[in-house]
Structure 1
């Protein structure tokens, strides 16, 4: 048995990086029966016959996500452009919530600051205790900070099509030579140049490039109960137990410490707005839906 990490998955083939190189594998049929899908980032044991192999065992995961479909991630880089496409704060906050729920550190990376000032976005997330900064694959701004975050970790880039994920990765490591696409002027969004999730070894760690999306309902894939939602907004933490009433939803109650913090400017209005919208969606999620 050989141990390795899945660095790419494509049409039922899994490419496992081992000490001897990358081995193309199929997965055992038992995984399908157990409704388990091997994911990029999985640590696995494989058997090898000739130049190909079989995924025999998936080692215990510390986390996994459905979108992007990755496992064992330390940090999720949410790439946001100031324009083309315009930022959607609700989508950003849903991705952050999904990461927080899985114990993955989120980071918001803002691109295209030369086209439109994105200081308000960076300030909003830094205020919430989430690392956020500008980066550019063209000028090199923020690239060294990205490299330092990748070092020693497994990370993944995610975000709308056209925000510049592949461009950033090419600047981080020019040897990757990832294809990039232009923004569609008619649609106002990027073309999907990345088709597969692929994990690259670089900067002393691993980073996954993932397909972009034009719209995303995170709750469809990463449901969070309304009772748990307050805990994935980290800036709420100092106030959660200070509300007048137990079971406070932090949306409209009298004596809510979160609403008081919002009023005092300690919580960003866009973050609380996202929380309220997500809370309304979460009302329809039942505990049995979270069971696999």
Structure 2
């Protein structure tokens, strides 16, 4: 039986499209995945068993280094968070929730603030630069900052995510005009954009690597799909790392304890107040949650 190996770059209506060298093979997944309760995802490396007509079946997938539930993707190198400077305004708690999820899964965040031509993005960008993240500020209208983002994508599998109306699809089109991803205007009545992405797909870039356009999400989506227990939360805030082992008491929650080195760093201005406020909010959400409740 003829078999090939490749990367699943698109999933839609029960079909999987596997890039094997120069070939793109339309596949179904064998029933064994359903029997095992395993989902085949975009980003998976796949073994394909060929059938007549140049089509095939996915019969095996490789070991994954990470998985996102929303967006449903595997083996992501970096999560590009597209954030509007205005219309809609940034929601820092949503940003910090997604960063924490990426950090927990070993996916490197890249924050891209859009609409630089409409409002000053510097005050938001500096919060995250101070926290140790890569940040870009761009205008999809003037093209400012686009080359800097493009350079960060080369040779990597990058998931693009962001709330509706932030200019995510427009940014992707600026990065590579061949993509021609549909965009939606901001709804003046609702104050937000309409979802324009209907499926998950990896798009190859001329410089090498792939990007994924993904549907918008809300804070509620994140809470439902990805939960970080309180014991693990501090590790998902990278700026805490230099201080968390210097706290007076073992098991410090970094919320109100005397002798907390993280709170001391916050007082000295070494940790951004908005970042710690997000940590407190997330910690309060899960402080009474037990691991067995997630199963």
Question: TM-score per shorter chain, which class?
Answer: over 0.9
> Is residue 2:47 matched to residue 1:71?
no
Match of 2:237 in 1: 233
Match of 2:25 in 1: 23
Taking the aligned partners of 1:185 and 1:284, their CA distance within structure 2 comes to 40
State which of 176, 179, 185 in structure 1 corresponds to 2:188: 185
Higher mean displacement: 260-269 or 278-287 = 278-287
Counting only pairs closer than 5 Å after superposition, residues 138-157 of structure 1 correspond to structure 2 as 138-157=141-160
1:163 partner SS: coil
- Once superposed, what is the RMSD of the aligned Cα atoms? 1.3
Match of 1:244 in 2: 248
For residues 116-167 of structure 1, what are the alpha-carbon distances to aligned partners after superposition, in whole Å with 9 as ceiling and x for unaligned? 2121110000000011120222211221111111101110100001111111
Match of 2:161 in 1: 158
Contact 2:164 2:195 (8 Å CA) reproduced:
yes
Match of 2:213 in 1: 209
Moved over 6 A (4+): none
Counting only pairs closer than 5 Å after superposition, residues 117-132 of structure 1 correspond to structure 2 as 117-132=120-135
Deviation (angstroms), 1:214: 4.5
Contact 1:225 1:285 (8 Å CA) reproduced:
yes
Normalization by structure 1: what TM-score?
A: 0.96
Deviation (angstroms), 1:285: 3.1
Deviation (angstroms), 1:171: 0.8
Deviation (angstroms), 1:290: 5.5
Taking the aligned partners of 1:288 and 1:181, their CA distance within structure 2 comes to 42
Deviation (angstroms), 1:24: 1.3
Match of 2:16 in 1: 14
Taking the aligned partners of 1:284 and 1:219, their CA distance within structure 2 comes to 15
> Is residue 2:273 matched to residue 1:269?
yes
Contact 2:117 2:139 (8 Å CA) reproduced:
no
1:96 partner SS: helix
Taking the aligned partners of 2:87 and 2:28, their CA distance within structure 1 comes to 39
Normalization by structure 2: what TM-score?
A: 0.95
2:232 partner SS: helix
Taking the aligned partners of 2:16 and 2:258, their CA distance within structure 1 comes to 54
Taking the aligned partners of 1:242 and 1:124, their CA distance within structure 2 comes to 24
Gaps of 5+ in 1: none
State which of 252, 255, 259 in structure 2 corresponds to 1:255: 259
For residues 152-196 of structure 1, what are the alpha-carbon distances to aligned partners after superposition, in whole Å with 9 as ceiling and x for unaligned? 111010000111111111111111111111001111111111111
For residues 64-123 of structure 1, what are the alpha-carbon distances to aligned partners after superposition, in whole Å with 9 as ceiling and x for unaligned? 100111111111001100112121111100110110011000011100122221211100
2:118 partner SS: coil
Distance 1:126 1:136, change over 3 A: same
Distance 1:66 1:289, change over 3 A: farther
Taking the aligned partners of 2:279 and 2:218, their CA distance within structure 1 comes to 21
